Amino acid sequence: MIKEMKWIEFIDQFTKRNSGFIERLDKAHPALTRTQFKVCLYLYSGYSSKDIAEQLNLTKQSVENHRYRLRKIFQLNKIQNLMTYLLRI
């Protein structure tokens, strides 16, 4: 329950600071899972994998796996940065 309240608070603040990003991300990648979507928002906000893991009640390795899958979904090569990609959406 507390984690859900933190998420609601986070998404409220995120929406106020990053107008339109959620809609652009959803339009560009509508097939993202809920967790992949959340990871993207936390990454966009500058959270580390460790911090994301704490916020989403996941292991750091699980977050790293999500990051890996997101790179594949976004078709990023080894030299392209996931954060840079998200900032360009």
At residue 65, the pLDDT reads: 97
Q: How far is CA 68 from CA 43, 51, 71, 76, in A?
A: 13, 17, 5, 10
Number of domains in the chain: 1
Q: What is the DSSP letter of 57?
A: T
What is the extent of the structural domain holding 59?
35-89
- Contact in structure between 32 and 66 (CB atoms under 8 Å): no
Tens digits of residue pLDDT in 4-25: 788 899 999 999 999 899 999 9
Decide if 69 is inside a domain. yes
70 by Cβ neighbours in 10 Å (0-12 / 13-18 / 19+) ranks as buried
Decide if 60 is inside a domain. yes
Decide if 62 is inside a domain. yes
Average pLDDT across the chain, whole number: 94
Q: What's the pTM value of the predicted model, to 2 decimals?
A: 0.91
Decide if 7 is inside a domain. no
Tens digits of residue pLDDT in 54-69: 999 999 999 999 999 9
> Which CATH number characterizes residue 63's domain?
1.10.10
